Amino acid sequence: MRHLLSLACTAALAGCSSFAYDLSSLPFPVTATPAADPAIVREPFECRAADVIWCHQLFGESQPDVAALLRAHCGDCAGVANFRVTVAGTFHDWLVTHLTLGFVRMKTVTVRGEKLAKKA
């Protein structure tokens, strides 16, 4: 029974991967706390990108650049509040992963937040 439990734990941990990103190059501040100032206009946004692991990382990993996504989506804003990054698998990710027999593992990276702009 212990062998089955350890095998199940090993299989579950084999699907885990880490996702790292760097926001230091952004020209505006980014915070995970919600904006509390009523004088600031908040516009919610969401953008998605794919995280792909090629052939069990023998050919590398294609991770999206979160800072570039924020720069492209937010442009010239005063900042970003309520910032969240999630990595999860959708049905299409699951389908691609299983049709390629696990040689291409896909996950969807979702970046959410509120773009801040001062009221005129």
| Span 8-32, pLDDT tens digits | 554 444 455 677 888 888 989 999 9
Total residue count of the chain as it appears in this document = 120
Q: What is the pLDDT of residue 15?
A: 52
Is residue 3 scored above 70 in pLDDT? Answer: no
Question: Between residues 79 and 59, which one has the greater pLDDT?
Answer: 79
Q: What is the pLDDT of residue 119?
A: 63
- The stretch 79-84 carries a mean pLDDT of 93
Provide the edge-to-edge strand list for the sheet that holds 104-118: 61-62, 40-54, 104-118, 79-88
For residue 83, count other CB atoms closer than 10 A to its CB: 19
| pLDDT tens-digit map of 51-62 | 998 987 778 888
CB-CB contact of 20 with 49 (8 Å): no
39 pLDDT band (50/70/90 cuts)? confident
Burial of 81 by CB count in 10 Å (0-12 exposed, 13-18 middle, 19+ buried)? Answer: buried
> Whole-model pTM?
0.75
CB-CB contact of 85 with 64 (8 Å): no
Q: What is the pLDDT of residue 4?
A: 58
CA 83 – CA 116 distance, rounded (Å)? 11
In one-letter notation, the amino acid at residue 1 is: M
